[in-house]
Amino acid sequence: MESRAGISKQDIREQIWDYMESQNIADFPRPVHHRIPNFKGSYLACQSIKDLGVFARTQEVKVDPDKPLEGVRLLALQSKKTLLVPTPRLRTGLFNRITPPPGATKDILRKCATSQGVRDYSVPVGLDAKVLVDLVVVGSVAVSEKGWRIGKGEGYADLEYAMMASMGAVSQGTPVVTIVHDCQVVDIPEALLEDHDLTVDYILTPTRVITTGCERPKPTGITWSKVSCAMMGRIPVLRSLRSREKQAGRDVTLQDERPPLEARSQHAAPPGAVRRPGDPAPPEASSPRGEDVPSDTVYVGNLPRDTRVSELKRALRERGAAPLRLTWQGPQHRAFLHFQDPAAAQQALSCLQGLHLGANTLKVALARQQRASDLAGGHAREPHPDH
């Protein structure tokens, strides 16, 4: 597939996802939108890693938990390598070590390689463990032959690598491999790359093994100025690493802790947001004639047509956003989240950027200038506590 000029990372993601679904290349779980997409032939692509010298020399390999990488996890276990898998969304730590039971059969090893096996046959690895990763295998939505990589937009693979670099678990010489379908290999403008983006050294597809020869430096540690307070709240291991680096005298000032520039007012688009022709104006700019809502309220728009309030609540809990109450306006494809104070609303705003429900990217903003009548017209529902 070819990418067009003036394209954004999100444009490329949508192009890949749409193509894989329309051509029936996608495989379970579907739809592949907003995921590292699984594809028909992923196991075949994974088999190619056996032919890489870097895999043969590997003792300790870190493989992401994505479905299309399941074949690599199985090969690592069958080859008696130490297999490390990141914990989902880094909620409880950085790695889990997959530990099959003694005398595990081929069927048990297959189960260990699945997401369920990661939960059932793993032990957490602490920050103080002496981990030295020989090979990193990551999922991608798109990748170029030069080694530029685009993930699903949440930044976990980049952050995981940066955390490993901070721990000394990887170095610039640690090879990085990705497994994708041939249609996911596209031209990616270098201008889209940022310093914290992870690049890859090898690309495996069902038909090709591509050595990128990428010389762009990989992240050498965590770029704290890119980390938000909300992210710190969601990822305990990040707090531990920050404490260590602070004690070592490094600058660990977070994104939210820097003095805001006047130019970056509430009207600025959130990082990574993509505006397209025909999109409505951001909610902050609407209804100036109406009565202002206090800034402890967050507007959520572009809800899919058939969304239920329970689905939105579940998505909020997964992002760590817990409003005091929720005003539901499903027929208008929107909702309002009411928080204890402006600081809590601002933190939730950071947590919810890039949130998806179904195929829709939700519009999230402070609801300063939404009409008071909009709020009054909905039905307030208290969120259920997170179980």
Q: Where are the domains of the chain?
A: 9-211, 297-366
* Per-residue exposure over 249-269, b if at least 16 CB sit within 10 Å of its own CB, e if not: eeebebbeeeeeeeeeeeeee
- 49 contacts: CB under 8 Å, gap ≥ 6: 55, 72, 75, 137, 177, 179, 204
**Contact present, 358 and 301 (Cβ < 8 Å):** no
Q: How many CA atoms lie within 13 A of 211 on its CB side?
A: 5
What are 145's two structure tokens?
């032959």
Q: Which CATH code for domain 9-211?
A: 3.40.50.10420
pTM assigned to the model? 0.66
Q: How far is CA 119 from CA 100, 114, 127, 232, 350, in A?
A: 12, 9, 19, 24, 29
C-alpha 32/C-alpha 21 separation (Å) is 7
- The CATH architecture of the domain made up of 297-366 is 2-Layer Sandwich (3.30)
Structure confidence at residue 137 (pLDDT): 97
**Contact present, 171 and 215 (Cβ < 8 Å):** no
Cβ atoms within 10 Å, residue 331: 10
Structure confidence at residue 146 (pLDDT): 96
**Contact present, 140 and 200 (Cβ < 8 Å):** yes
pLDDT digit string (tens) for the chain, length 387 residues: 555 557 899 999 999 999 999 999 999 999 999 999 999 999 999 999 999 999 999 999 999 999 999 999 999 999 999 999 988 767 667 888 999 988 899 999 999 999 888 888 888 887 777 889 999 999 999 999 999 999 998 778 888 898 888 888 998 899 999 999 999 999 999 899 988 899 999 999 999 999 999 989 898 888 888 888 877 877 888 888 888 888 888 888 888 775 554 444 444 434 333 333 444 444 433 333 333 444 789 999 999 988 888 889 888 887 878 888 899 988 888 999 988 888 788 888 878 888 888 888 899 988 764 443 444 444 444 333 333
Structure confidence at residue 85 (pLDDT): 93
What H or E segment, with its residue span, contains residue 38?
A: none
Structure confidence at residue 157 (pLDDT): 83
- Bridging pattern class, strands 122-125 and 149-150: unpaired
Structure confidence at residue 342 (pLDDT): 82
